[in-house]
Amino acid sequence: MELSKLAKNLKPSATLAITAKAKEMKSQGIDVIGFGAGEPDFDTPDNIKDFAKRFIDNGFTKYTAAGGIPELKNSIIERISKDYNVNYEPKEIFVGSGAKHVLYNLFQVLINEGDEVIIPAPYWVSYPEQVRIAGGTPVIIHTLQENNFKFSSIELENAITSKTKILVLNYPSNPTGSTLNERELKQIAEIVKKHNLIVVSDEIYDKILYENNKHISFVQLDDEIKKQTILINGVSKTYSMTGWRIGYAAGDPSVISAMGNLSGQSTSNPTSISQKAAQEAFSGSQDEVGKMVEEFESRRNFICNELNKIYGIKCSIPDGAFYVFPDISSFFGKSYNGKEIKNSVDFTNFLLDEALVAVVPGVEFGSDKNIRISYATSIVDIREGVRRIKEKVDKYWS
């Protein structure tokens, strides 16, 4: 059958190829250590699961409003107010089937053919693809590890043209873990106001931040900025609820309403039970979050320390999220078993074939000098994984 232009231009994911290879190796009984996962390894907290079970038993199992139930919208509003002292109304909240779906709807309702969307790299893999699917043009600002993966005001100004409509921010960042401080956010805000840009601020790792770093939401800077920003968040990362599929957007009511209309004609509501679970996640006890973050922090310290002991690997200590994004470019031009390493995919294959460790190549995130290692896995696996990497690097090169 003849596929649409859209389908033909969809980019197959190199991550999926690596994941598939790792899975196949595992199914053959090969003991692969997985550092690829983009989700917490903890179980969803009991209070959330129990709350959801009650609503299954109560028959809360029918269609709901396409853009989310009022009770969940209220708990989102309360959460944002408690965390950032910023107030929203229910008509300014859209709930979708995960933050990914929310972002998809958002780009669909904002972007016209040819609109430019500025995305700082390294970026979360789906931003450029979702922008392209909506007919927009991603404009990438490349950042450097030496600068903690931050862009300057000048670089931002230089990326702006008459076609620029949106700036995407994601901090703490997936994949780098880098975050932005108040001074940096204010600098960005000045430029955003000057050029009247829409900011899509993906703050899904807002709670996963280390060493008393305090997250400042872009919407709390001032009223004008709040009006120009669509805040994105969800339950997947903070509450270890990736499979429940609940995310939200907060912002301009006309945008929110359009997103609801789009869901109304495509997915309908996010799962009723999941909405109840998310309501409890935002409104119930937040104690489990602190425990998870504490555990992540000790893993982060361990893995960075160990990786930096390995010849040729340069790992910066991330501020938040649960990934490290080390530079592995010093291996480019080196060979093993007659195979030359030319890029991050080659190095990823080296790690998988030789060390039996699965990571994600940086090229997927717009930075071919790096690999992404998720430490959302047990400390036992982390210890064994880095030991294997060191062993194979030592064997061939150091």
254 vs 263: CA distance, rounded Å:
14
In the complex, which residue's CB is closest to ligand PLP?
A: 98
Q: Are 109 and 353 in contact (CB under 8 A)?
A: no
The CA R_g of the chain, rounded to the nearest whole Å, is 21
Contact 289, 205 (CB under 8 A): no
Q: Find all residues with CB under 8 Å of 276, minimum gap 6, and list them.
A: 51, 52, 55, 60, 69, 71, 72
Q: Which region among 62-70, 231-239, 311-319, 370-378 touches ligand PLP (by CB under 6 A)?
A: 231-239
- Here's the x/- map for ligand PLP, 181-220, by CB under 6 A: it reads as ---------------------x-x----------------
Residue 83, φ and ψ in degrees, nearest 5: -75, -40
118/136 Cα distance (integer angstroms): 10
CB of 103 to ligand PLP, least distance (A): 7
Quick count: other Cβ atoms within 10 Å of Cβ 292? 21
Q: Closest Cα partner for 148 from 171, 125, 128?
A: 171
Q: Which stretch binds ligand PLP (CB under 6 A): 81-89, 92-100, 251-259, 281-289?
A: 92-100
234: contact with ligand PLP by CB under 6 A = yes
Site for ligand PLP, residues 153 to 182, rule: CB under 6 A:
170, 174
- Is 130 one of the binding residues for ligand PLP (CB under 6 A)? no
Interaction with ligand PLP in 96-125: which residues (CB under 6 A)? Answer: 98-100, 124
The distance of closest approach from Cβ of residue 55 to ligand PLP in the complex, given in angstroms and rounded to an integer, is 20
Least separation in angstroms between CB 198 and ligand PLP: 17
Position among 236, 240, 367, 374 found at the interface with ligand PLP (CB under 6 A): 236
Q: Which residues bind ligand PLP (CB under 6 A)?
A: 38, 98-100, 124, 170, 174, 202, 204, 234, 236-237, 242, 247
